[in-house]
Structure 1
């Protein structure tokens, strides 16, 4: 009998289409207001919500518990990282963009932060990944700490959106004398003064207390001007890092200026003052005159009435906004004396002989609101503003202004220093919020996600189709990641027609049409810009029934796997694809971007829901057990997730687990990969009549619809098999056990100790159908065999695979290792007898003095993923014929052709293969008759492993 499900499960059922495409995130039984519901109602809701096109469905993460093994060990490292990392560091850029206090938090750096690569134009992406990771961690473990962290982040992002929706408001901080206005770095905020502020004075004093928090050059304390030709400014740091005052009516070349002698200290209050009178200008720093110019012919009167009178903003658009605090800004229509300037150091102006500025005087006494009162008596109220104004729609949420999105609409070529994939970043935030909602029922997260889609629709729906096609084709500014998938997932919850319409606005027709026609146009394309697009297009097929989406996705997958796939399951070189079939010709230090593997796994999984072709799960196993596991370093770290960006396949490459300070896209997807290892171990048929066992991984499945559990006990891949035990009750269903394509001999299944009839076929599913009862035990035996895979464009360049595991040589040489493997090959074709096992280290072997180890081990050893095959002489069973191993023009050797006939039933079958192959080669003139006879005789005399 299936147990009653919680309110959380009901919500999951109602939103199954949204929850399951990427990874089901339910936290069954953990909702704060759980209520029981009849099982039939739950099942009906789930069936109604699942896409009709899905013939199989995944289980939620909390339906599958990882048991001890390599996955649980790797996951724990990431769980600990997620538990301990200060999320305020990730929220810093969001809060700063909204002008909110950041609490002294420091963004992690790399791609994530105000000082990140390309002007920090990708900031915010990592926060979305982190939210998804936390959601998966909570769904998998039920540990409240992850839900609490999600709540903190969602609450902060909600505050950020509210702040962005309104005009900026004062951030009151402790000032020099009382309160002060702080412009948080990254807020793009400044104070706008009325045009009459200078009053046409011919003599003037300007005085301000400032507390800079960043050392950017050319950030204005004030700038009064019309443009970059007529202006008067004061900066805390010029190009030399010292204060500068300048005035001009004819641009930078005609500036009359004053330069200080020392940099202003950061995070300390400094007093700056400028006086102009009778042709003399003086710059004061903390009451001391540091520069005097007796030849100043310009003054405010010469400038006239100016349009832009700003504190903290420059009339030069490329200059930074001042980051720091302002206190007591005064303007007098005379040049104060040195003594008067000195008196301002220890008192408010109102308490000195100078008095308040008679042209303008701002005390910043306010503690709220967005305006500042003028105490000069002239009533020149100042207003706090943003340089970019504000969002075009109240749903906008980002860690930077909307300007990147706006500028993309007119771009014709990419420039990531100006626009770096804003919709990609929007996708990460959107998905993090949706995952947060699905894991914790937080309505705020759903509202934020829905609002983001409303905002995107309000922008993109107004653009002509030609503009959209141009935008989405731009590298990398137009990259939008998996946003289509997430929007369709959200639409399954909101039901808003605008959301489905929005998803279709990301159609990249040139790519869809080419792939639908099975025309390969991938050469030269950025790999990860395009892989996640197709997962979204499959979801669009689910939502619309338009077959071109699904056809294009299937054909696209076949253009990558295997024609552009390395042995570890990864793809791409320096983020891009080369020509189809070029593997050896692309080996470098920048192969296999980790994001690509993450997203190909998602696409493979999605396609399997529609078409149970075992090739999709064969690929899933390959990439998961090799690149994805191997991309995570086997080390704990509180600050970094320790995930690779590229995985170099050149000889002697050492994996870098902290590229670009650890906040690239791949660290983000790596966090997600590490907290959903169990997402594809089991699938169920849509009508619950069958259970697919896709991966042999230690785990326990709770199949509530059937009222049973399935527990896998295995140390796979260190164990060549798995035991599945049924628990909980009695249920009839087909158990579909995956027979991997590499399992070419010896795959066996027993139920309760008795062999199951039938002939398992490699690259298929073996079905056992019965009424299962608690205690039933299924034993699967999967013998491994060591084999090679050859580079498509150079058969002599090969990689070793033992069962599903890629074995890599650990050797510091930067030249390809030269290896021979036929010397002691078994009659089965297994090359393993040529290697020597390492005692006490499962899956470790040595050959020619080099240790070979599983790629999945996240070490910093120099590795050789590929080697150069070298079989100079014909050898059988350690017996050397003395005959040179001849080769055809394509590189295929005599031994290659002989052993291609494996497995052999016995020695006689091998000798027969040797004789027929030798005869063919002698006839073709590739081998002399005498040498051929020697080869056959050696084969007859040799002894072979099984």
Structure 2
């Protein structure tokens, strides 16, 4: 149920007022601070100056910053600088943020239109030019909008939003008036662009990812009070996605997940400012739906960036689960919802995702970040490197996430309640009570957390400590060392008394092991200890995992677990794992090691029946994976860019929650794939229920096969292998694979292409 505007009086203590004590969280902040120091503002500003007609002061970064999405990283960097200054007091962070604002103001003034940006536009000849040239075309109704491409620019409004948000963060942190002025100029520019469109044209443009533009305009309205900005916030409303959510309908399957989450954050902010009930309903229903029906055990969501059908997590445990940006945004949305009506269940989710996903997404040894956090057994987490040559979206959200681990620990509400939502060791100043508080804890590795009022203006007020739902009502509370019987309400243990300096309130939570099944599949399970997701440690990354996935067998699996080091949450599972005993460890700490998080759970009798078939299927999959040289996931943004896909009359499709791509008559699709010496096989995946269609397959412009599809294997996907002549790949590092439809036919759809080595003895 939506909560009326004005009810949201709960708010966190300012990040400026919180300082972390030693813990993995404090370490993450420090490593991230060093990472921010390592980055060069002038390199991130390269295109902003170049496209404004100013001389760049440093060379451009590689990776995404050298593509048409350039500039998104600078927006995240601005926000991360602000947060790190607030969290640590590092003056260099503030100096850099002010410097960047000055540079953006200069570039904006040079253009003279209000626009400032670094995004590019790829013309038909392949050259990349200033992306601003797409906006006059759009105003004239010349719109070519796809999921991530708008008139040749990669998610341009997403990129604009990141800069917009960074400017607003600088202004909000220390009142930098120039930052607000640049933001208003940017807002005015896009006001002219979007108000020139008809409703139908507007929806066409909004079919391309636009980030949280509605949130930024709403925030601009909150800062200035100008109604024009609120009207603009309302314009950024994607009917196709948001209307069903306002009606409490889950139609998220096959939508790109992170494209949607910022839209709901924007609706939440508009609801707070206007009381629009439908927008509040949509935001809350989206959160409930994603967290209960579309999320993995670590709190992340989406497989290969897309939502699947509800309660189908067990079918989508792959090497590309849990994009970090999604969780970064879901935690933002959670904070909004909690401020409307404090409820411990909201922070049960927050804690789960923050601890198990966000903390897994930074490598403490390098400061690098994951894009995906894979949950497929034996998968390697791929972190960005010290070469700083990636700049994926999740590098940007990563540098923000690890700048602010103190932001959600302590909260206060309008009725004077002091809340502890996260058990992270920290000190804080509580201005409302002229108080200083200290939270001491080894949680989640030890069960106790103690809050001490080291300084306080004495008075009567409630203190609320979150009791996680998994605690099963077994939490124990004490005040000044004596047992206390708190009031339990909405997931909190609440003690109201006259508090004075030196008082201590402590909570002890049961850190028991438990099994958690995936939504919709009771046979696929994970192991947790308190809030920690545990993983079977499968060894260092250097050793590829090429064995069958382990399974858990027995009626009482947990009886086989014994702690080997309870203080570090280390366990040994004996007699209940197949094919061998396993060591279990906290998942998030598996930075450079391979893990198993999900397990098929069998009874003894079921395992006897299933073992042969299960192991054979696992072996088949592992064999293909082990022999794979390159894999192409068609219809998905990043793989298509990584493989330099080009196409004509080709469209992404989704069947049975699998992404693919076709090419229509007169068109084609073509992409690069890596090769290696020796006999190779090209494998393509198709849907077995296609109507008749014919197409040819080429490798480096040599036809290797003609494919006919016609209801071949109804109701399922199937693979076709095409052995490659050795001469086609000899001496090469990559080839171009091309699918061309016959006249008046269609190529595919193709649901993935894989190149792998032929089995020993095969020839081509």
> Normalised by the shorter chain, which TM-score bucket?
0.7 to 0.9
Offset from partner CA, 1:98-118 (integer Å, 9 cap, x none) = 121123x222211112xxxxx
Deviation at 1:839, TM superposition (A): 4.5
Larger Rg: 1
Q: What is aligned with 2:523?
A: 796
Q: What is aligned with 2:478?
A: 750
CA–CA distance in structure 1, aligned partners of residues 481 and 32 of structure 2: 39
**Matching of residue 143 in structure 1 with residue 90 in structure 2:** yes
Contact 2:138–2:193 (8 Å) recurs in 1:
no
Structure 1 810/166 Cα, relative in aligned 2: closer, same or farther at 3 Å? Answer: same
More strand by share: 2
Q: For residues 286-685 of structure 1, what are the structure 2 equivalents within 5 Å?
A: 318=125, 320=127, 400-403=131-134, 406-407=137-138, 410-414=143-147, 416=149, 418-472=152-206, 474=207, 478-637=208-367, 642-658=368-384, 661-685=389-413
Q: What is aligned with 1:835?
A: 561
Q: What is aligned with 2:19?
A: 65
Contact 1:708–1:731 (8 Å) recurs in 2:
no
Q: For residues 871-886 of structure 1, what are the structure 2 equivalents within 5 Å?
A: 871-872=603-604
Structure 1 543/760 Cα, relative in aligned 2: closer, same or farther at 3 Å? Answer: closer
Contact 2:131–2:153 (8 Å) recurs in 1:
no
Deviation at 1:404, TM superposition (A): 5.6
Contact 1:747–1:760 (8 Å) recurs in 2:
no
Q: TM-score, normalised by structure 1?
A: 0.59
**Matching of residue 102 in structure 1 with residue 49 in structure 2:** no
Deviation at 1:509, TM superposition (A): 2.7
Contact 1:788–1:798 (8 Å) recurs in 2:
yes
CA–CA distance in structure 1, aligned partners of residues 312 and 120 of structure 2: 47
CA–CA distance in structure 2, aligned partners of residues 840 and 568 of structure 1: 21
Structure 1 792/443 Cα, relative in aligned 2: closer, same or farther at 3 Å? Answer: same
Structure 1 500/402 Cα, relative in aligned 2: closer, same or farther at 3 Å? Answer: farther
Deviation at 1:596, TM superposition (A): 0.7
Deviation at 1:871, TM superposition (A): 3.5
**Matching of residue 740 in structure 1 with residue 468 in structure 2:** yes
CA–CA distance in structure 1, aligned partners of residues 595 and 193 of structure 2: 48
Deviation at 1:415, TM superposition (A): 5.9
Gaps of 5+ in 2: 539-544, 574-579, 611-764
Contact 1:721–1:783 (8 Å) recurs in 2:
no
Q: What is aligned with 1:697?
A: 424
More helix by share: 2
Q: 2:38 aligns with which of 78, 84, 90?
A: 84
Structure 1 778/89 Cα, relative in aligned 2: closer, same or farther at 3 Å? Answer: same
Structure 1 725/863 Cα, relative in aligned 2: closer, same or farther at 3 Å? Answer: same
SS, match of residue 45 in structure 2: helix
Q: For residues 867-906 of structure 1, what are the structure 2 equivalents within 5 Å?
A: 867-872=599-604
Gaps of 5+ in 1: 1-49, 114-119, 169-184, 189-215, 217-315, 322-386, 388-398, 826-830, 875-882, 887-946
Deviation at 1:587, TM superposition (A): 1.3
Deviation at 1:571, TM superposition (A): 0.4
CA RMSD of aligned residues (A): 2.8
Deviation at 1:548, TM superposition (A): 0.4
Structure 1 760/132 Cα, relative in aligned 2: closer, same or farther at 3 Å? Answer: same
Q: What is aligned with 1:859?
A: 591
Deviation at 1:814, TM superposition (A): 5.0
Contact 1:821–1:834 (8 Å) recurs in 2:
no
SS, match of residue 465 in structure 2: strand
Structure 1 403/885 Cα, relative in aligned 2: closer, same or farther at 3 Å? Answer: closer
